[in-house]
Amino acid sequence: MTVVVAVRCPEGVVLATDSQGTTQMPGGMPMKLPAKKIARLGKHLVYGGTGGQGAGQRIHADLDAHATKMGLSKPASETAALIRGIVNPIQQQIRKEWVELPNTQPEVWGGIFCGWGKEGPWIFEIDLSGPSQFQDPFAATGSGHPLAHTALISVAHFDVGHQPLERVKALVYRAIADYTA
C-alpha cells in the first residue's frame, strides 16, 4: 500500500509519501519493509512514485539521464512533456513484458512530479495506466490515495493553494499520518 500526496502553495510544493514497501514472500505471505518513494531530479524537480520497485528503478534511470533538460528556465508544459515521453514508453514496455501466470498482475508504476518552472510551482501526475495531467492545488495517488485525497478535500475550503508553507506541511503530514494510522 502506498500513498503519495502533493500540495502546491505560493512558496513551492510539498511532496510526501509513506515509507513502507510491501513484497510478496513465497507462500503468499506479504512482508513489509522500509521503502524510499521520493526521488530528486536536478535542483527543481522531485517526484513520488507508486507501484513496482523494478519499474520505478527503470523509470528513475531514464529520468535521471535526462534531468539536465528539466530546469527552472523551462515552462512546466515542456518539462511535463519530457517526463511523459520517458515514463509512458516504459509503462507500455513493462505491460508487454508481463507473463500471465495464475494469481499474478502486471507490474505498474505511476507518480506525482513536483517542480518549479517559469510559471512558478507545479504538480504533474502520471497515472498507473499512463494518462497524465497537471493537478492544482493538490494531488494524491497510490493504493491508499482515497484516504489522503479525502483528507485534502476536507480542508479544501481553507484555500490550501494559498496557505503558507508551514501550514501546507502540517496538512500533508496529517494526510499521510491519517493514511498510515
C-alpha cell at 126: 502520471
Q: Alpha-carbon distance 66 to 13, whole Å?
A: 22
Residue from 2, 14, 3 nearest 160 by CA: 14
Three cell numbers written together for 37: 518513494
Secondary structure of the chain in the HEC alphabet? CCCEEEEEECCEEEEEECCEEEEECCCCCEEEEECCCEEEECCCEEEEEEECHHHHHHHHHHHHHCHHHCCCCCCHHHHHHHHHHHHHHHHHHHHHHCCCCCCCCCCCEEEEEEEEECCEEEEEEECCCCCEEEECCEEEECCCHHHHHHHHHHCHHHCHHHCCHHHHHHHHHHHHHHHHC
Q: How far is Cα 89 from Cα 97, in angstroms, rounded to an integer?
A: 12
**4-12+34-171, superfamily in CATH?**
Aminohydrolase, N-terminal nucleophile (Ntn) domain (3.60.20.10)
pLDDT tens for each residue of 55-96: 999 999 999 999 998 878 889 999 999 999 999 999 999 999
Indicate the pTM of the whole model.
0.89
Sequence ranges of the domains in the chain: 4-12+34-171
pLDDT reading at 158 higher than 70: yes
- Give the model confidence (pLDDT) of 3-52 as tens digits: 899 999 999 999 998 877 776 656 666 767 767 889 999 888 999 999 88
Residue type, 32: K
